[in-house]
Amino acid sequence: MKTTNRIGTRVLSVLCLIALVFATGLPAEAQNLNTKSVKFKVGILGAPDNPYVHWNDSNMERMKKLGFNAMQLDIAWGSRPNDEPLNLEDVVAVPKRFQLPIDKELAKTLHSPARIAARSAKLLQRIAICKKYKFHTIFEFGAPFQGHPRHETEPLPQCISDTTTIERYITLIKEFGKKFPGVNDLLVYTYDQDAWLGSEFGPCPLCHGIPIAVRVAKFVNTLAHTWRKINPNGILWWEPWELSAGEVYSSIQLLDSTCVGLAIHSNIAEVQIAFPADRWFKNVLYLAKTRDIPVIAEVWLGCPTEEMEPYTHIPTPLLTLQALRAICAAGKLTGIKEYFGNVPNEEDPNLRMTGIFFHDPNISDSLAFAELAKPYGKAAGVVVRYWKLTSEAVAFYPWDVSWFAREVGRSDPIHLMTAATLKGANWPTPDWESSRRTHFMRTDETNEPNFWMREDMELRFAQSASLMKQAIQTAKEADPKVPSSFRTEFDKSIRELSGFRRRILAYVYHLRETNLADDIRGSIRMRLPMKERLADIAELKRTLIKDQRNERTREPIASALKMLVTNLNKFLKTYFLPSAPSGLRNDWTITSN
């Protein structure tokens, strides 16, 4: 028996699920959280999509008022926004005896004396203003510096088992300590961006056969011992991202708990607002507690996030509150840290919700939102509805389909007319080749997604888009009442949420069009009655028309519509057929191959 999905039943199922969301709400709020162990609340001034936030008195006072007591001194992002430091080599010159070909290559550009001096001057100014406001300071960097990620066809330029590499970083850390007094702690990641580790199964003779946990723990301990000699109270926080779950667990057993701390994503895959405190996160906290190793949890604490970029004003304060509760309920934490960046000089409901939580971790939803919306005066009630709807819409968005579901603002709403795929992301790291495969549905593109996966994604995208439509309507209702001091950011949030929804609808239509075209092909092969085929054709036509409106351009859909009506067989041989990667759309347009 053939089952067909008609638009009426599809809409009804979506509306029923939305009704269920409002009847039950998102997960219940936590009570009696013991957060006395949370010593550090770490912020970052500026974000990759807005790195020009000033380190001045007003912004420091805002962060202090919110409850932050520590600052990461650099944005430390792979794109190096506004020439922010990413590695020790960006602020400390490499002595000639340690210089590799990559160092000599960059000596006139990225690591020129002038650029190192300019970054150093900014860093010294940031350290000084942090000292003025009694902020604990942390400098983040990646090591060992390799220049760029490498496939393991040859040994890496710097190997953590090589004594020269170890001596290089001992020297650089000592020089950093002399050059930048006042830095309390260091935070180092060892696998990503310009830092990279070799595999025990790779071509490096020093690494071959030696588990990565053994090698990286020894390297991290050495860096931590060096820093502790410079700063007797200092901690070297290690971010073990890109290691598999098992490698992280093994590494924890080998770390020196007297001077090493952990800084970890809020789940094994990434920092994700909808999936905080997974089993891996809880296991890490458990193991760290048995070794008395302090842990800082990394989460999104404001509206700017890697998931949303380049959008920076989409408010999801309910998810922010729930994420903070979740990580604090998972086990003992020494700190909570922003992972992307903060822009305190703009109205940011998520960041203010973080401050509300910092001041009262056991606050109820109703009281938290009452306090959050208080500055909105007469608009408070409807603005709260908007924030909750937006939070729920973002919670429904299928972040787990692929890493490329992130950076939603970069997706192109004009999709290709080939079959909708679901692009999988993968890199040659232990985590991507193992643990992350349990979190993301698609980590490769070797096979076309099954029609049920296409349907699943279509329905989940549709649910998110439906909630966003309600949120946008609610925001427009609130807009005239919003105080003028908040109007700029509020209007940006509406525009950005509308842009997000437009991109989601492009996915919905593309996925449905592909399945309908396959349905029609199947009907022909099975010689089913014409009425079955006509119903699918009618729905496909309606979907293409809606898609065309969403794309806001006549072509390429106009030609497809004409062919659908005039020559069905030619249409089926032309459109929505699987294709090899074309390069015609960026990675973030996940349904276009």
Check: CB of residue 173 under 8 Å from CB of residue 89.
no
For 226-251, b/e burial (b = at least 16 CB within 10 A) is bbbeebeebbbbbbbbbbbbebbbbb
Q: Which tens digit of pLDDT belongs to each residue from 143-172?
A: 999 987 566 778 899 999 999 999 999 999
Tens digits of residue pLDDT in 18-69: 443 433 344 445 457 888 899 999 999 999 999 999 999 999 999 999 999 9
Given this model, what pLDDT does residue 532 score?
78
* pLDDT score at 17: 43
Give the single-character DSSP code of 409: G
Q: pLDDT tens string for the chain (593 positions)?
A: 333 344 344 444 444 444 434 333 444 454 578 888 999 999 999 999 999 999 999 999 999 999 999 999 999 999 999 999 999 999 999 999 999 999 999 999 999 999 999 999 999 999 999 999 999 999 999 999 998 756 677 889 999 999 999 999 999 999 999 999 999 999 999 998 899 999 999 899 999 999 999 999 999 999 999 999 999 999 999 999 999 999 999 999 999 999 999 999 999 999 999 999 999 999 999 999 999 999 999 999 999 999 999 999 999 999 999 999 999 999 999 999 999 999 999 999 999 999 999 999 999 999 999 999 999 999 999 999 999 999 999 999 999 999 999 999 999 999 999 999 999 999 889 999 999 998 999 998 888 999 999 999 999 999 999 999 999 999 999 999 999 999 999 999 999 999 999 999 999 999 999 999 999 999 999 998 888 789 999 999 999 999 999 999 999 999 999 999 999 999 999 999 999 999 999 999 999 99
- Residue whose C-alpha is closest to residue 375's, from 486, 222, 496: 486
The mean predicted confidence, pLDDT, of the chain is 93
| Separation CA 74–CA 93 (nearest Å) | 18
Helix (H, G, I), strand (E, B) or coil at 56: coil
CA proximity to 110, closest of 133, 132, 91, 128: 91
* Residues 532/523, Cβ–Cβ less than 8 Å: yes
d(CA 272, CA 476): 28
The domains found in the chain, sorted by start residue, are: 38-366 (3.20.20.80), 397-574 (no CATH)
Degrees to nearest 5, angle at CA 319 with 21 and 78: 135
The answer to whether residues 33 and 328 touch, using CB atoms and an 8 Å cutoff, is yes
Q: H or E stretch including 274?
A: none
The string of DSSP codes covering 66-129 is HT--EEES----TT-GGG---SGGGTSPPPGGG--HHHHHHTTTTT-HHHHHHHHHHHHHHHHH
- Provide the pLDDT for residue 29: 57
Secondary structure class of 169 (helix, strand, coil): helix
Rounded-to-integer distance, Cα 76 and Cα 53, Å: 15
Query: For residue 240, is the peptide bond before it cis, meaning its omega torsion is within 30 degrees of 0?
Result: no
Backbone angles phi, psi at 10, to 5 degrees: -65, -45
**What value, to the nearest 5°, has the Cα angle with vertex 473 and ends 24 and 497?**
85
* Interaxial angle between packed helices 484-526 and 530-551, expressed in degrees from 0 to 180 and rounded to the nearest 10: 150
With b for 16 or more beta-carbon neighbours within 10 A and e for fewer, the 130-145 pattern comes to beeeebbbbbbbbbbb
- Nearest 5 degrees, angle CA 510-CA 515-CA 521? 130
E strand or H helix at 341, and its extent?
Answer: none
- Angle among Cα 221, 224, 225 to the nearest 5 degrees reads 85
Report how far apart the first and last C-alpha atoms of the chain are (Å, whole number). 32
Gyration radius from the chain CA atoms: 26
The 10 Å Cβ neighbour count of residue 481 is: 14
Do 117 and 90 contact (CB within 8 A), yes or no?
no
Contacts by 277-283, CB closer than 8 A, 24 or more apart: 277/323, 277/326, 277/327, 277/329, 277/330, 278/439, 280/245, 280/248, 280/435, 281/327, 281/330, 282/330, 282/331, 283/245, 283/249
**In this predicted model, what pLDDT tens digit does every residue of 451-469 receive, in sequence order?**
999 999 999 999 999 999 9
Q: What is the pTM of this model?
A: 0.92
Rounded alpha-carbon distances, angstroms, from residue 488 to 137, 204, 472, 484:
32, 54, 16, 8
Helix axes of 451-478 and 380-396: crossing angle, nearest 10 degrees: 170
Q: What is the pLDDT of residue 31?
A: 57
CA distance linking residue 149 with residue 170, whole number of Å: 23
Strand partners, 338: 299
Other C-beta atoms closer than 10 Å to the C-beta of 440 total 20
Q: Give the Cα separation of 454 and 444 in Å (integer).
A: 15
CA distances from 208 to 168, 202, 204, 289 (A): 22, 6, 6, 32
Q: What is the 3-state secondary structure (H, E, C) of 374-390?
A: HHHHHHHHHHHHHHHHH
The token pair at 518 is 């396959």
| pLDDT recorded at residue 80 | 95
- Give the chain's length: 593
Using an 8 Å Cβ cutoff, are 408 and 586 in contact?
Answer: no
Strand partners of residue 70: 42, 136
* Residues β-bridged to residue 237: 187, 261
In whole angstroms, what is the distance from residue 503 CA to residue 411 CA?
7
> Two tokens at 80?
């190096």
Helix, coil or strand: residue 490: helix
Residue 352 has, within 13 A of its CA and on its CB side, a CA count of 16
Residues forming beta bridges with residue 145, ordered by sequence position: 195
Q: What pLDDT does residue 149 have?
A: 58
Q: Where are the alpha helices (DSSP H) in 148-306?
A: 163-179, 212-230, 245-252, 279-291
